[in-house]
Structure 1
Amino acid sequence: MSGTSIIESSDTAQAQARRTLQALWQRGCDFLGSEVAILGGAMSWVSERHLVSAISNAGGFGVIACGAMEPARLAEEIAATKALTTRPFGVNLITMHPRLEALVDTCLEQGVGHIVLAGGVPGAATIRKVRDGGARVVAFTPALALGKRLVKLGIEALVIEGSEAGGHVGPVSLNVLAQEILPHIRDVPVFVAGGLARGDTVLGYLEQGASGAQLGTLFAASTESIAHENFKTAFLRANARDAVTSVQLDERFPVIPVRGLTNGGTRRFMAHQAETVRRFQTGELSREDAQLAIEHFWAGALRRAVIEGDVEEGSVMAGQSVGMVKAVRPVREIIDELVAQAVAALARRGQGVGRSV
C-alpha cells in the first residue's frame, strides 16, 4: 500500500470513528442539548459560573452546584452563568435542602432547562413540579431497583456514580453498577460517573449502553476552575491511592463516606472521633451531642481547601482519577482530548489494530 493510500485509509477510519462515537452518545447529546455527552460533576464551591460556562462553551454540559445556596443566591449564580454562555447548562439541587421547592421555583423562573436532584431520593411531587415547569429532571441511583422506581416516578435521565468518585460516595464501584444497571434500564438515558479520566474508558461504557459520562476531578483542576492554586497543585501531586474515603471508628456514630485526599485534617478527624467516643463513654457527652460533634468536624472544610487554599486541614475532595491529572489545562482541551481518545480507540479497531502503545 502506498503512503497516500495509508493516509487516506487513516482519514477514513478517523471519520468513521467520529460518526460511530456520535451515534453512541447521540441520545445523551439530544437529552442535554450539547455537542458531546459529557457533563461536569456538580462540586460545591467549584462548579460555579466560570467552570460551568466553560464546560458548556466547550461543547459539554456544565452543572451548577447549588449546595447550601438560598434561592436568591442561586438566582444570582444562574444569571451570572447565562451572561457567560448561551449554551445549555443545568443546576444540581440537594433533595435534603430545607428550601428545595423554592429552589426548584428559582430554577424554573430562571429558565433552567435541566434540574439534577441529588443527595437523596426525590419525591414524586418534586419530580412532577420540575416537569410541569418545563425542565428536564435527572436523578442519581445507586442500585437497579431504585433506578427503575425513579423512572416510574417520572425521572427522565439517571446518573450512576461509582465509589471511585470524589466527595460523597456510595459503596459500589462504577464497573459493578454499570453491569447491574445498564443492560436493564433503556427507557431513559443513563450517564456514568466515578473515576473517569480517559475517553477510551468512556467509550467502553457507551458501548455497554450508557448515553454519556459525568466527570468532576479533571474539571476541578482546569484552568477555568476557581479552586485555589494550592488545591490544584494537590491534585497534580496526588496518586489514586491518596484519594480515600473517610473512616468511621464506631458503628454507633455513622460517618458519611466522603472521598478526598488524605491530609492533616483526615488524620485529625480520626483522633477527633476517638476522643468524642471516649467522652460519650465517660458520660461527658450525650449520644446526640457526640454525633453532632463528629458531623460538625468538617464544617466549612471544603471552602477552606477550595477557596482559601488550606489543603492540609481543609477537605480536598477528589476522585481516584486524580492520579491522572497531570497538568492544569483549559476545559476545552480536556474535552477535546477525551473525544480524541475515544475516536482513536474506535479508529484503531476499524484498522484492525489490537491495542495502543
Structure 2
Amino acid sequence: MTATPARARLDLLWGRGARFLGAPTAIMGGAMTWVSERHLVSAISNAGGFGVLACGAMPPDRLAGEIAATKALTDKPFGVNLINMHPDLDRLIDVCREQGIGHVVIAGGLPSGAAIRRIKDGGAKAMAFAPALVAAKRLVRHGIDALIIEGSEAGGHIGPVATSVLAQEILPEVREVPVFVAGGIGRGDAILSCLEAGAAGVQLGTRFVCSTESIAHPNFKQAFLRAAARDAQPSVQIDPRFPVIPVRAIVNEGTKRFMETQRALIDQVDRGELTREAAQLEIEHYWSGALRRAVIDGDVENGSLMAGQSVGLVTREQPTAGIIAELIEQAETALVRRWAAYPSAAPPAAVGAA
C-alpha cells in the first residue's frame, strides 16, 4: 500500500531515529519502573514503536528472566533501561550482551566512559539522558550512540528545565548522534513539532500507562484517567538543608503527608532531638516502595502516582497499537492542515488530497 504524502513526510522526518532503533517509527516507550515490563514493552514494539524494559532495582538474574520473557512475546527490537547508580551495573550490561539486546539506555545520571565502552563492546548501541548541552557534548565525546533529552514536564525524577527549552538548547548543537525528545509529549502534533525542530524521534511514557496491555492496577489507571495536567506536580523541598530530588507525580494523600513529615523531622532537628543525617535518611526513605504500592497493589492514596503533565491527555484505556496509530494520525492531520493553509509548502500530491 502506497503511503500518503503526510505519512511519507513523517517517515522522512523520523527516518534517522527509526533506522537507529530498527523500528518502523521513532516512538520510544519511556522506561517506567513496574509498568514497563514484558507485556507493555512487547506491545509497543509489536505496534511499530520501540519498547524499553525498565530494569530499576532488578538483580542481574531477574533482568535476564524479564528479557527472555519479553522475547517470548515479540520478535521485534526493544531496549533495556539501566540505572547508572545500580551497584551491579557492569553485570547488568553483561546480561544485556548475553541476551542479545541491541540498545541499552542508561538513566539516573551520566554514564562513565567505561560504562559506555562496555555497552558498545558488547555489540549494543548506548543511549543516555542529557540534562544540558554541556552534558550532551561530554557524552558524545565519550562515544554515546544517541541521546534522550527529557524536560521537567516528564513523570518521575525530573530536572529543572522544560522540554521546549532543552530542545532549543541541544537540538541545533548536537548533530553527531540522534537525539530523542521526551517530557510532556502526548499527541502526534507535538511529535511532529519535535521532529521538525531536529529531533530524530520521541519518547513517551505517561501516554502508555493506560494501555490495555499495561499491568498497572485498575486504581492506578483510574487515577490517570481522572487527572488533569495541573495534578501532576513535582515534590517540594521545604528546607535547603534537607535536599529532595524532585519527582513529578499526581498529588494524593501520600504527597500531603510527605510535606508534613518533612516539617516534623526538620522541627525535631531544630530542637536537637534528631541528627540532621537521621532526618535526611527518613526523608529519603519516605517513598520507599511507594511506586509499587500504587502500580501493583493499587494503593493510590498512599503510593506514588508518578506521571508526566501529559496525563491530562490520557482520557481512556486503549490498546497500545491504537495509541500509536492515533499519534501517527494526529501528526499526519497536522501536516495536512498546514498544507491546506499554505499550499505552496505542500508536495504536489498533498495539494490535491487537501
When normalised by structure 2's length, the TM-score is 0.95
Tell me what 1:160 maps to.
149
The alpha-carbon deviation at position 286 of structure 1 amounts to 1.3
Alignment partner of 1:208 is 2:224:
no
The alpha-carbon deviation at position 177 of structure 1 amounts to 0.5
Alignment partner of 1:71 is 2:68:
no
User: Which amino acid letter does the alignment assign opposite residue 138 of structure 1?
Assistant: M
The alpha-carbon deviation at position 344 of structure 1 amounts to 1.1
User: Which amino acid letter does the alignment assign opposite residue 340 of structure 1?
Assistant: E
User: Which amino acid letter does the alignment assign opposite residue 129 of structure 2?
Assistant: F
User: Which amino acid letter does the alignment assign opposite residue 71 of structure 1?
Assistant: P
Tell me what 2:266 maps to.
277
The alpha-carbon deviation at position 350 of structure 1 amounts to 2.3
Q: Distance in 1 between matches of 2:4 and 2:284?
A: 53
The alpha-carbon deviation at position 352 of structure 1 amounts to 2.9
Alignment of 1:273-312 (within 5 A): 273-312=262-301
Deviations 1:253-286 (A, max 9, x none): 0000000000000000000000110111122221
Secondary structure of the structure 2 residue equivalent to 1:87: coil
Tell me what 1:57 maps to.
46
One of 68, 80, 87 as aligned partner of 2:69 = 80
User: Which amino acid letter does the alignment assign opposite residue 252 of structure 1?
Assistant: R
When the two chains are superposed, the root-mean-square deviation of aligned CA atoms in Å is 1.3
Q: Distance in 1 between matches of 2:63 and 2:219?
A: 27
Alignment of 1:93-104 (within 5 A): 93-104=82-93
Alignment partner of 1:243 is 2:212:
no
Tell me what 1:9 maps to.
none
User: Which amino acid letter does the alignment assign opposite residue 280 of structure 1?
Assistant: V
**Could you list the runs of 5+ residues in structure 2 that have no partner in the other structure?**
344-354
Q: Distance in 1 between matches of 2:96 and 2:179?
A: 23
Q: Distance in 2 between matches of 1:345 and 1:15?
A: 13
User: Which amino acid letter does the alignment assign opposite residue 345 of structure 1?
Assistant: A
Alignment partner of 1:331 is 2:320:
yes
Deviations 1:204-261 (A, max 9, x none): 1100100000000010111110000000000010000000000001100000000000
Secondary structure of the structure 1 residue equivalent to 2:169: helix
Tell me what 2:352 maps to.
none
User: Which amino acid letter does the alignment assign opposite residue 178 of structure 1?
Assistant: A
Q: Distance in 1 between matches of 2:135 and 2:179?
A: 13
Alignment of 1:309-324 (within 5 A): 309-324=298-313
Q: Distance in 2 between matches of 1:77 and 1:179?
A: 37
The alpha-carbon deviation at position 295 of structure 1 amounts to 0.3
Q: Distance in 2 between matches of 1:116 and 1:344?
A: 32
Alignment of 1:40-51 (within 5 A): 40-51=29-40
Q: Distance in 2 between matches of 1:199 and 1:326?
A: 15
Count of aligned positions: 343
Tell me what 1:7 maps to.
none
The alpha-carbon deviation at position 353 of structure 1 amounts to 6.2
Q: Distance in 1 between matches of 2:100 and 2:208?
A: 25
Percent identity for Structure 1 against Structure 2? 65
Deviations 1:44-78 (A, max 9, x none): 00000000000000000000000000000000000
Q: Distance in 2 between matches of 1:181 and 1:126?
A: 23
Alignment partner of 1:341 is 2:343:
no
